[in-house]
Structures are given as structure tokens and as C-alpha cells.
Amino acid sequence: MSPPLQTAPRATSCRPDRTLFAPFVPYAHLCQARHMTPANTTGNEGTTLYYGDLSAPHVLQVFLEMRDRASARMAKTLLDTIRKGADDGKYAVKFHFAGTMDDTVGGNGDQKALGALAAASDEGQQQFIEYLGALFDNQPFPPAEDKFSQGAVLLSVAGDVDGLRSADFDRKVSDDTYLTWAGESISTFETFGLPGTPAVWYDQENIPVTTVEGEVDTDPQKFLAAIKTS
């Protein structure tokens, strides 16, 4: 197991939102009206979870969906390799998440799982990346069952990650602390113009990980060769 990477300060305050400072809005309700932003996020609105050191010479952008079977297959194939490259300081990894299943099949498992990942990011980058892998390893099937919408399922999977379960983490998952944030994060996915998930960009260059039919077609050797020549 790799040692924990340096993490950003734990999220402890509400994000600013000027629309909330209208007359007659009681101060005590401001934090309830605004959503929190988890640790280890980047971007103008803090909607992108990242792993590694943002000062690394390259950026790897990974596009996934928590209820998507192809995303799970790619994660099982490449996530350890992706993590090692970040641990070695070769690049920082920015994760972007879609919510297509929530929109088409129904439910909110994509959003709920992402909210739980945000809570894991507060615990540290190691906990986040291991929880991401654990969720994909335990991805419910068929997607229509939407078991990721159940806090008990998300907490049960978290029990497989060393150092993740705590009263604070459990509360954030049970109370949907990051559910609004997760919805905003998912809403940014369409800005990338991608037809679906999974996808990987290395310094804005597409790294093929699927066939034209959308089937996962990669392995660690192919992936490393692709980013080496890009």
C-alpha cells in the first residue's frame, strides 16, 4: 500500500454564494443553504476531485460514472496503474463523473456515490482512491436496482477501506453532506463534449481505452505506452 499523499486542508466552511446575502436571511441558515466543498478539489467551483500533486508536470483527466459497467471494468484494469503514476509524481489525476444512469435509468446512485467519495476525500487522498476502487469492485448490478442510492450500502463498502470509516465520515454519508456538491460536479461533465464513459485524457490528448462500440480495450502496458508517446 502506498503511503498517504499530502492532502489539502479538510473542508470546514461553506462555499461563498453572494445570492445568499440578501436582506432578512438569518446567518444561522446560511450554511444550510450553501453546500460544502470537500477537500482535494480543484477547478473554479471546486467541483473536480483530484489525486496526487497538482504541481506535477502532467495532468491525467479520468472520466467515469459510478453506475456504469464499462467504467467499472476500466477502473479494475487501470486504477492501480493510474494511481502509481501519480504516486511517482508523473502527473496529477483529475476525476470527472457523469450521471447518465441517474437520468436515464432513474434513481440517484451516481450522485450519492459521488457524494460519498467526496466524504472520503476529506479523510485523505489514499482513502479516496481506495474507496473509488472498492465502489467499482462492489458495483451493484443490474444498474436499475440503484443500490448506491442507499447509504447503508455505501457505508458497508467503505468498511473495506482501511482508515475510512469514522463518525465524521459516516455522518457525511448518512446526512448527504455532499449531495448538492455532487450534483454540481456531475453537471460539469457535459462541458467536455464526451459521448460517454470511460475516457482518459493526458494533457488534453485522448488516450484510447475503449473500442468504437464502447467496450473497454486497454491494459496497463497499452496505457503506459500511450501516455509515454503522447
Q: What is the pLDDT of residues 31-65, one digit of tens each?
A: 333 468 999 999 989 999 999 999 999 999 999 99
Q: CB of 46 within 8 A of CB of 37? A: yes
What's the rounded Cα separation, in Å, for the pair 159 and 8?
23
End-to-end CA distance of the chain: 29
Is 3.90.1150.10 the CATH classification of the domain at 49-204?
A: no
Tell me the residue length of the chain: 230
Q: State the virtual CA torsion across 192, 120, 41, 180 in degrees, nearest 10.
A: 70
Q: What is the pLDDT of residues 127-173, one digit of tens each?
A: 999 999 999 999 999 988 999 999 999 999 999 999 999 999 999 99
The pLDDT of residue 17: 35
Q: Where are the domains of the chain?
A: 49-204
Reported as type and span, the H/E element at residue 94 is strand 92-97
The pLDDT of residue 213: 78
Q: Quote the DSSP letter at residue 10.
A: P
pLDDT confidence band for 230 (50 / 70 / 90): low
Residue 108 predicted with pLDDT over 70: yes
Q: What is the pLDDT of residues 73-95, one digit of tens each?
A: 999 999 999 999 999 999 999 99
Q: State the virtual CA torsion across 177, 182, 185, 186 in degrees, nearest 10.
A: -170
Q: What is the pLDDT of residues 186-212, one digit of tens each?
A: 999 999 999 999 999 999 999 999 987
**How many other β-carbons are positioned within 10 Å of the β-carbon of residue 98?**
26
